[in-house]
Amino acid sequence: MWTQLIVPAVCAGGAVFIVSALIWMVFGWHNKDIQPLPDEDGFVQSLGGHELRPGLYMWPNCADRSEHGGEAFKARWKAGPWGTINILGGQPNFLRNLIGTLIVNLLVAYAVAVSIGLVLGGVELTGGVLLTCSMCQVLVPALILGAAIYCLGGLGNDLFLGKQCRFIGTSFLDGIIFAGVQACVLWWLWPVI
């Protein structure tokens, strides 16, 4: 049974990867989500003097949590500015990042397919075939599961780290599109009796 779901999952994950690439490289609705710095050269030079190790930084912040209740921290918190910055350990490797994204898309598609296959109940652990599927048996659950994963997976962190509403909204729209594409491909290629 599990091998019967590999081709639909690979095709669904690959389709999501292609749609994601089109969204980011052709359609451009994320262009306004990530703003350029007004004085990038000056900002980068000022960061260079701090020898920051790779990681996510947030300010205002304290090295010791006990300082959060202190007057100095409260004053910095009230005055601002507030922000986060992610320092990378080296030059971005887009090929590695793309491969990682593809692997995640494939794993999500396979996990959704296996979940639906188990719920359908037409799967025998000995390798039996799947039930004939209807739209309600595969498409709708795949859409719901895919939307839950792609839309809600990072939402908590996005909200906590204060990402802009536009960025969250376009990412949510991406997730709905990814879930729809994945669901349609899984339904189309679903193995049936």
State pLDDT tens for residues 77-89.
Answer: 899 888 888 889 8
Among 11-15, 17-21, 81-85, the least confident range: 81-85
Prediction pTM value:
0.82
Q: Examine the pLDDT at 66 and tell me if it is beyond 70.
A: yes
Q: Which residues contact 158 (CB under 8 A, 6 or more apart)?
A: 167, 168, 171
Q: Where are the domains of the chain?
A: 3-35+92-189, 40-87
Q: Give the pLDDT band (50/70/90) at residue 129.
A: very low
State pLDDT tens for residues 145-179.
Answer: 999 999 998 899 889 888 889 999 999 999 999 99
Q: Are 143 and 181 in contact (CB under 8 A)?
A: no
Q: Among the residues of the chain, which ranges form H helices?
A: 6-22, 40-48, 71-79, 94-120, 140-152, 155-160, 165-189
Q: Give the pLDDT band (50/70/90) at residue 2.
A: confident
